Structure 1
Amino acid sequence: MAELATAPGAGVNKEIKRERTFVVTMKRLLKNKLAVAGLIIIILQIGMAIFAPLITFHDPVKQNINASELPVLSEDHWLGTDNYGRDVWSRIVYGARISLVVGLIAVTLGLIGGTILGMLGGYYKKLDGIIMRIVDLLFSFPGILLAMLIIAILGTSLVNVAIAISIWSIPTCARIVRGSVLSIKEKEYVMAMKSLGASDLRIMFKHILPNAFAPIIVFATMRMATAILSTASLSYLGLGAQPPTPEWGAMISQGQAFMWSSPHLTIIPGIAIMLTVFAFNVVGDGLRDAIDPNMDI
């Protein structure tokens, strides 16, 4: 077993196996029509966020009272304007940038914290009880209330929204990683590395963590949907983006007073949130099914 672990071609064979696994997973994913539709929506959203200055023709925060509450398909404002005369299309596009960036930061921080706690809890029995009780404590708070509590302590801003959502994400990620570590650490190749004298850090981060990536990736994809929806919810409540920031939840909050005279002010950002959350959820579902080894290629 030691010879197999240290064989010159072992690393190459492992890389080939991972490459084949990736190709098989992508083939399965692309057979899922809903997941493909979700991927297209996500790519379009990312493109909007990156090329926002090139695909908009108005400043998203510039006011023009003379052109307020223009309807959809108006001249020079194809999604209309809000009550301050700001171009809705520009605000939707720049709102995509805010939602994706805040969501990405929140999920990344949550993954880092959750992965570290899950790895330590799953690998060290002495730490497992302590870490899981902390996780249980965080689970005792409803997610959105926990985020609101953190923001109430830190203050209202998009940075604090990202921090709050990341803390909310940590316990779920920790549970997922811990479960994977508990099963992987009993594998023969891990026992072989221990017998060869490999350090715990090397075993955890070079041999266990790469084999626990599949559930982490699925969690991260689906958590992006939750993070984007939570960002919009907190901004709607006035705890996130502050006027005149073009954030989708804040746009719904500002537009609800004009629901009867200018319904597009709430409907359009609502559709943007719905499509983005739908896209990340179906891609997450598709990845989960694609990674399942019991599925046919």
Structure 2
Amino acid sequence: MGLLSYVARRLALLGLVLLGVSMVVFFVLRGMPGVDPLAAYIAPGLPMSQDALASLRRQLHLDEPLPLQYVYYVANLLKGDWGYSRTAAQPVLDALLARLPATVELAVAAVLLSTALGIPAGIVAALRKDRAADVAVRVVSITGISFPVFWLGIILQLVFFYYMGQLGLPTLPSRGRIGDTIALIDPITPMTGLYLVDSLLTGKLAFFGSALRHLVLPSFALSLIGLAAVVRIMRASMLEVLRQDYILLARSKGLPTRTIVMRHALRNAITPVLTTAGTTLGILLGGAVVVETVFSWPGMGSLAAQGIPRGRLALRRRRSAGAVLTMLGQLASIRRSTVATTGAALFVAIFVTGAVAPLVIPASVVRDVAFGARLSPPSARHWFGTDDFGRDLFSLVMLAANLDLRVALSVVLGALLVGTVLGAVAGLVNRLDEPIMRATDVFLSIPSLVLAMAIASVLGRSVQNLAIALVFVSWPIYCRLMRGQVLSEKQKPYVKSLRTLGVGPARMIFLHVVPNTLFPVIARAPADVGLILITMAALSYIGFGPGPYVPEWGSLVAAGQTYIFQAPWLVVFPGVAIFLTSLSLNLVGDWARDVFDPRLRS
């Protein structure tokens, strides 16, 4: 295939993906049961007659059949008519373009920060493989991705804005892009919308300094999302390069290690990191939703969080056996990994505590109000203190553990089931491979948090609907991973023999191929449970959780943020619970990837 034909094919596939994205967005906005798209054009509480509503519905083509509505929808998108935002009080496209530079500036700063921290850490880990420095770097990187970014943002505000101010030390701004005083007395002329760039172009150094100080905390919180990936990729790439013949030759000539690493190994090992920078930027654009909300950053993420309504409240075979025995033997190796053993023990302790919580904590703890004990600090009677209703925070955190773990495990199980089946079918049935993979690309092209917000808003606020929304955005990862495993497996002789014998696709998939390809896919599950926990907490923090009277870690953090300077324990303890649970799962998941992925084992 020539270069031009390859580029043309990729552009055509891009067009199909964009068309698929528009279909998904249209279905979420208009196609789901109970959704009235007219509500987006009417101010809440504004009285309108039935005739006026019918006229507006005809004007917007909402009285047409759904397929015809989609045609009008795409036509309006192409013309630049993306609808009207009541939140921003202006057309949607204008609102997005006005806020795009703020989000881009934040995301680019986070990418640069994660790359600047991750590359040296990955190099050190590779040079000290399996030694203390390697273990320390990997644990620190895993710890970084175990922090819920919204909670970390609140803690950064508490430490670097409030506590440092109380001590008389220099502080960092906690909200916004620029100081109010600088914006009034020394404004800049917008050129690109990027404050750092525009202030340098116009020579406003005071404005540049204020913008840079406002960028520090949110960019650091957001950078932790990509930091672990950069460290892991850099470490693996550097280890591979250090085994190459030209590196061995350089060592045999007596060149210093620093020269070998910086002049020869780094330039080849850094390529995969730079290649994934674009993907990381896309992920950070999705993660910016919660960071922008915490820091009141005027970007697209905060606009999306404000613009989406919170929704209504609604409270036996030989090969298989051999594969299983292989897995059991690999699982037994967890005893030789201190880090994995620690993670597993920590998760079991949290899981058991959450499981027994409803049995020992009365349900009245959630409903009863004791204003005489409100905002009491931690004590022998109330280990975690009390909230603004006087409820025991320790009991609420334990009950929330039960809910969050049940939902996270159910979501990963559902996503694993859907993604595994579709991935196996795509890998074995050639005529279905392209449609399934294009559908997967469509879902992966939409920021998962934003899509989950939209689905949860449409379905309504309940535990079940939140789980459905999370499954909806989680299955594509397993689908792509399973397809890759199946494509590799189906080249083996036994699969060709089964086809020669006339074994049907369904029997071949479920009884032969899947048992031999499933374990590397399952190895991803522990870390994904931790990721789902953080995502669920983020949704609840923004306001898309199961409801105000359902104990959930993210909701507890959101409720406690109001009293962050008066009663910091309301934010600290629920956030620590999320962090420790996610950390334990990430430690086990990191060990599982090393054990079940043959490339990492080698």
* Residue 73 (str. 1) matches residue 374 (str. 2): no
Partner-residue secondary structure (3-state), 2:551: coil
Structure 1: how far apart are the matches of 2:504 and 2:340?
40
Q: Is the 8 A contact 1:56 1:89 kept in 2?
A: no
* Shift in alpha-carbon separation, 1:64–1:164, aligned structure 2, 3 A: same
Give the counterpart of 1:256 among 553, 561, 564.
561
Give the counterpart of 2:485 among 169, 180, 188.
180
**Largest Rg, 1 or 2:** 2
**What's the CA shift string for 1:84-108, capped at 9, x where partnerless?**
0111111111100111111112112
Give the counterpart of 1:108 among 390, 413, 423.
413
- In structure 2, the gaps of 5 or more residues are 1-315
One-letter amino acid matched to 1:194 = R
One-letter amino acid matched to 1:148 = M
* Residue 36 (str. 1) matches residue 318 (str. 2): no
27-36 or 105-114, which moves further after superposition? 27-36
Structure 2: how far apart are the matches of 1:14 and 1:215?
14
TM-score when normalising by structure 1: 0.90
Q: How many residues align?
A: 286
* Shift in alpha-carbon separation, 1:19–1:138, aligned structure 2, 3 A: closer
* Shift in alpha-carbon separation, 1:38–1:59, aligned structure 2, 3 A: farther
* Residue 120 (str. 1) matches residue 419 (str. 2): no
Give the counterpart of 2:475 among 155, 160, 170.
170
Correspondence list, 1:1-297, <5 A: 11=317, 15=321, 17-18=322-323, 20-56=325-361, 59-61=364-366, 62-75=368-381, 77-293=382-598
How far 1:65 moved relative to its partner?
Answer: 1.3
Structure 2: how far apart are the matches of 1:108 and 1:11?
23
Q: Is the 8 A contact 1:50 1:97 kept in 2?
A: yes
Q: Is the 8 A contact 1:64 1:86 kept in 2?
A: yes
How far 1:224 moved relative to its partner?
Answer: 0.5
**What's the CA shift string for 1:236-271, capped at 9, x where partnerless?**
111012112110000000001111111110000000
Structure 2: how far apart are the matches of 1:157 and 1:185?
42
Q: Is the 8 A contact 2:323 2:516 kept in 1?
A: no
Structure 1: how far apart are the matches of 2:405 and 2:455?
21
**What's the CA shift string for 1:152-198, capped at 9, x where partnerless?**
22122221211111111111111001001111112111122222222
One-letter amino acid matched to 2:378 = V
How far 1:199 moved relative to its partner?
Answer: 1.6
Partner-residue secondary structure (3-state), 1:108: helix
Q: Is the 8 A contact 2:463 2:545 kept in 1?
A: yes
One-letter amino acid matched to 1:132 = M
How far 1:14 moved relative to its partner?
Answer: 5.9
* Shift in alpha-carbon separation, 1:57–1:293, aligned structure 2, 3 A: same
How far 1:68 moved relative to its partner?
Answer: 1.1
- In structure 1, the gaps of 5 or more residues are 1-9
Q: Is the 8 A contact 2:524 2:592 kept in 1?
A: no
How far 1:11 moved relative to its partner?
Answer: 4.5
Q: Percent identity?
A: 35
Runs of 4+ with deviation above 3 angstroms: 10-14, 17-20, 53-60, 292-296
* Shift in alpha-carbon separation, 1:58–1:72, aligned structure 2, 3 A: farther
How far 1:54 moved relative to its partner?
Answer: 4.7
Structure 2: how far apart are the matches of 1:295 and 1:135?
26
Structure 2: how far apart are the matches of 1:133 and 1:232?
30
287-296 or 59-68, which moves further after superposition? 287-296
Structure 1: how far apart are the matches of 2:355 and 2:530?
19
